[in-house]
Amino acid sequence: MANNPNSSDFIIGILGTGAMGRGIAQIMATGGMRVLLFDTNEGAAEAGREFAERMILRAGEKGTISEEEAQEAVARLTVVAQLTDLAGSDLVIEAVIEDLEIKRKVFAGLEDVVAEDCVLATNTSSLSVAAIAAALKHPGRFAGFHFFNPVPLMKVVEVVNGVKTTPKTADTLVAVARRAGHEPVRAKDTPGFLVNHAGRGLNTEGVRIVSEGITDFAGVDDLLREGGPRFRMGPFELMDTTGLDVSHPVMESIYQQFYEEPRFRPGPLTRQRAAAGLHGRKTGRGFYTYEDNRKVLPPIADVPDTLPEVVWISKAEPAGHEILTAALSDVVEIDDGQKPSTRSLCLFTPVGRDITSAAIAENIEAERSFGVDTMFGLDGRRTLMGTPVSDPDLRDMVHAALAAGDHAVTVIHDSAGFVNQRVVATVVNIACDIAQQRIARPSDIDKAVTLGLGYPSGALAMGDSVGARQILQVLNAMQDFYGDPRYRPSPWLKRRALLGVSLLTNEN
């Protein structure tokens, strides 16, 4: 036994050699550790070894590692025929089916085989670490070690502490992850752990926006991808990629495991579409239609070309007024009066509020009132929003003004928080509450969402870029409008907004 994870003869047992197990075996061998592969299914362990070998040799051919390093890594892969052959392991990682009783039986068998100082880890993505550990004689040496598929490409791994996990156990897994070239993030044992927990806001808020009739699937995705937030994929593109048969059960499971916490509430939209078999790219149709595995893009609508004679821009939000005035001053005449003239179209830049409320607050006719989201600037795709009674011809004129200079514009129905404001505020708020509950350190939260979810920045850093006070203003306005505890701000966010410090500010 070589309990030092940095030792040259540190031995890792992999129990279960499917897609996850073989990927874990590959990175461990490449990281310089000896790997023993075992699977109860005949031929599965050898198939897993062969797959890992091919991937390692391919990396050598591509120059990612040297050919000598590839050969040495392949030599560290060994198939074993029975569970007792894992007796000499310093760490055993289980990667079998997501079934609590099966995993408990696996670890009960392992405890009879390995030494008392051998670390045991589960790659579970959805089961409670504490629930698996409950059947163990030595639960202190047990933890979650959750990798993401495909393991070699997804460079983050969650080290999940159960209630009885010792610091030494977690430290060993952190060291192993780093040696294998992955970034470990530490998390407490909670539903969804860290990555799936932090990722709730994007999908569920996107679904809620469409369910309210504010815009369609493409409207949400386009704004989040091309607008200020610059997500790599919008929620509906993402669910089509992962498959709604996977995404929807996760949404329901986390919601139920958190005792129906409103922040994680899914909507019937995804359940209905999953029941209809509209799972996404894999079935040829989801929220979008796919031909030859490529998304079929809807036709681009014509952009109106009649500009308004003059626009008035509300000063209720000074920053928004400045941004919108700068964007339109070379396009149309700006009415700079305290109140608009009778011939002016009226533009608002509310933070968290809808246009109906903004117009009524300034006693301006809703028929000529429109909103533009300036929270993330106007360099990317722009959002235009009207009231339920806004004149469509006047709306088209504002659209033309916003589109001048070849800017893309998405027109949506009235909504507190537009699209980007409410989605980003929801994402940031959930991350803040993960920090508040001490599930993970702020730096690990941000590392998890960038590496595990592909977000353009960490959720807390995203909140900082907008400003904690702005995020708090959006949430307060939305909670006031909807009366829904879904939007209640986290204490972590409230306090840092009041103090004027970064959301990444940790507490000692």
With b for 16 or more beta-carbon neighbours within 10 A and e for fewer, the 471-485 pattern comes to bbbbbbbbbebeeee
Q: CB atoms < 10 A from the CB of 308, how many?
A: 22
Q: And the tokens for 437?
A: 């509950």
- Contact at 8 Å (CB) between 35 and 76? yes
Specify the pTM: 0.95
3 state SS of 267 = coil
pLDDT at position 449 is 95
Residue 417 tokens read as 């928080």
Active site residue 465: no
**Annotated catalytic residue 46:** no
DSSP class of 64? S
Q: Which one from 89, 123, 196, 420 is the annotated catalytic residue? A: 196
- The residues of the chain that CATH labels 3.40.50.720 are 11-189, 310-412
Token readout for 409 is 């514009």
3 state DSSP class of 151:
coil
What pLDDT does 175 receive?
97
Query: Which residue stretches of 377-467 are H helix?
Result: 392-403, 420-436, 442-452, 459-466
In the 8-state DSSP scheme, what is residue 407? -
Catalytic residue among 125, 161, 415, 429: 125
Render 187-202 in DSSP notation, one character per residue.
Answer: EES-TTTTHHHHTHHH
Cross-strand pairs, 410: 383
Question: Cα 87 to the chain's mean position, in Å?
Answer: 38
Amino acid letter, 57: L
Closest to 75 in 3D by CA, of 108, 123, 33: 33
Contact 155, 184 (CB under 8 A): no
CATH 1.10.1040.50 occupies which residues in the chain?
A: 203-295
Distance CA 452, CA 455 (A): 8
- Cα distances from 69 to residues 7, 175, 276, in angstroms, run 17, 21, 49
Q: Residue 195 corresponds to which tokens in the numbers above?
A: 């990555």
Task: List C-alpha distances in Å: 501 to 131, 147, 430, 494, 506.
Answer: 38, 33, 18, 11, 10
Local structure of 91: helix, strand or coil: strand
Helix axes 268-275, 200-211, angle to 10 degrees: 90
Superfamily of domain 11-189: NAD(P)-binding Rossmann-like Domain (3.40.50.720)
Residue 108 to residue 101: CA distance in whole angstroms: 10
Of the candidate CATH numbers 2.30.30.30, 1.10.1040.50, 3.40.50.150, 2.60.40.1240, the domain formed by 203-295 belongs to: 1.10.1040.50
DSSP-assigned letters across all residues of 273-326: HHHTT--BGGGTBSSSBEETTEEPPPPPPPPP----SEEEE--SSHHHHHHHHH
Q: Which residues pair with 386 in a beta bridge?
A: 370
pLDDT tens for the chain, residues 1 to 508? 557 898 888 999 999 999 999 999 999 999 999 999 999 999 999 999 999 999 999 999 999 999 999 999 999 999 999 999 999 999 999 999 999 999 999 999 999 999 999 999 999 998 999 999 998 999 999 999 999 999 999 999 999 999 999 999 999 999 999 999 999 999 999 999 999 999 999 999 999 999 999 999 999 999 999 998 999 999 999 999 999 999 999 999 999 999 999 999 999 999 999 999 999 999 999 999 999 989 998 888 899 999 999 999 999 999 999 999 999 999 999 999 999 999 999 999 999 999 999 999 999 999 999 999 999 999 999 999 999 999 999 999 999 999 999 999 999 999 999 999 999 999 999 999 999 999 999 999 999 999 999 999 999 999 999 999 999 999 999 999 999 999 999 999 999 999 999 999 998 7
- Is 125 one of the catalytic residues? yes
- The tokens for 173 are 């897994």
Active-site residue among 53, 158, 205, 237?
158
Distance CA 195, CA 148 (A): 10
Output the pLDDT for position 2: 57
Task: Report the relative pairing of strands 142-146 and 156-161 from DSSP bridges.
Answer: antiparallel
**111 catalytic, yes or no?**
no
Sequence-distant (≥ 6) Cβ neighbours of residue 350 within 8 angstroms = 316, 317, 320, 357, 358, 371, 477
For the domain spanning 310-412, the CATH number is 3.40.50.720
What are the backbone dihedrals phi and psi of residue 143, each rounded to the nearest 5 degrees, phi first? -155, 170
d(CA 190, CA 199): 14
Which is the catalytic residue, given 123, 146, 247, 344? 146
